[in-house]
Structure 1
Amino acid sequence: MNGLRVERVAVDGSLSEPLLGSLLADWRHVHNVIVPPAALSPGEVRERAGRFLLEVAANTEGLRFAHAHGYVESDRYVLPGGSALWIDLRLA
């Protein structure tokens, strides 16, 4: 996990619209590749960016990292049609 950098994509006017749009498009691409059963539209990504700091599918090492940085589990579930366990985290 060395070198991992996490940044908030703020939908608060602090970023130029072209930069914000580019960051949200990148986030959407990664999300949709990782979670195809729950693919998001550009509008859904923009709405979520205003509500959530981070959405993570994590392995054991990733969970330890998240817990060490103040995150707690808020939900565990399997997506319809999937078999992988997903864990939602929130900043405590």
Structure 2
Amino acid sequence: MLRYVEVESEAALRDWREIHNLIIPTAPLSAEEVAERALRNHLEVAYLGDVAVGNSTVRPPAEGTSVVIARVLPAYRRRGFGELLFRRAVEHARAWGATTIETIVLASNDDGLRFALRHGFAEIERYVLPGDTVPFIELRQGPGPA
């Protein structure tokens, strides 16, 4: 149902960035920042037909822990797309050797926080970026199979 495209082209970079900046308006990224992130993380865009509906970030594991973030545009939520995108991203993290999965959700993103809690994540930290007022919430899911 969904088609996944790794952020390697200008079009995918643009779509990934637009989704990020709509869902995380307090920390917008430039095209250059997304291109740099694509060099060190696994970034994908999920398309329904030709429409970008979500994106994901998978950070390589550090000491067995990988950060996985799945974002779905509000108009496409509650259709199972977040579940598909999240599972795919976790599979990628596990293939890289992650035994623990963490995620980060902007505190104002009620849907994202509910999704994380439903998937067994628990809050481990809150922080506010310099100049911002809305905190980010770091959550940990727990160990998985080695």
Q: Please give the range of the TM-score, normalised by the shorter of the 2 chains.
A: 0.5 to 0.7
Cα RMSD after superposing both structures? 3.0
2:26·2:134 contact (CA, 8 Å) conserved in 1?
A: no
Higher relative contact order structure (alpha carbons within 8 Å, sequence separation ≥ 6): 1
Q: In structure 2, do the counterparts of structure 1 residues 36 and 63 end up closer, same or farther at CA, with 3 Å as the change threshold? A: closer
2:126·2:135 contact (CA, 8 Å) conserved in 1?
A: yes
How far did 1:60 drift?
Answer: 4.7
How far apart, in 2, do the equivalents of 1:38 and 1:86 lie? 14
Percent of aligned positions with the same letter in both sequences? 37
TM-score, normalised to structure 1's length? 0.54
1:28·1:42 contact (CA, 8 Å) conserved in 2?
A: no
How far apart, in 1, do the equivalents of 2:27 and 2:111 lie? 25
TM-score, normalised to structure 2's length? 0.39
1:74·1:88 contact (CA, 8 Å) conserved in 2?
A: yes
Q: Structure 2 regions of 5+ residues with no counterpart? A: 43-57, 60-66, 70-103
How far did 1:25 drift?
Answer: 4.3
How far apart, in 2, do the equivalents of 1:60 and 1:41 lie? 25
How far did 1:44 drift?
Answer: 1.3
Match of 2:36 among 35, 43, 60: 43
2:128·2:134 contact (CA, 8 Å) conserved in 1?
A: yes
Moved over 6 A (4+): none
Structure with the bigger percentage of strand: 2
Q: Structure 1 regions of 5+ residues with no counterpart? A: 1-6, 8-14
- 1:27 is matched with 16
How far did 1:71 drift?
Answer: 1.6
How far apart, in 1, do the equivalents of 2:6 and 2:131 lie? 32
- 1:12 is matched with none
Q: In structure 2, do the counterparts of structure 1 residues 46 and 85 end up closer, same or farther at CA, with 3 Å as the change threshold? A: same
How far did 1:42 drift?
Answer: 1.4
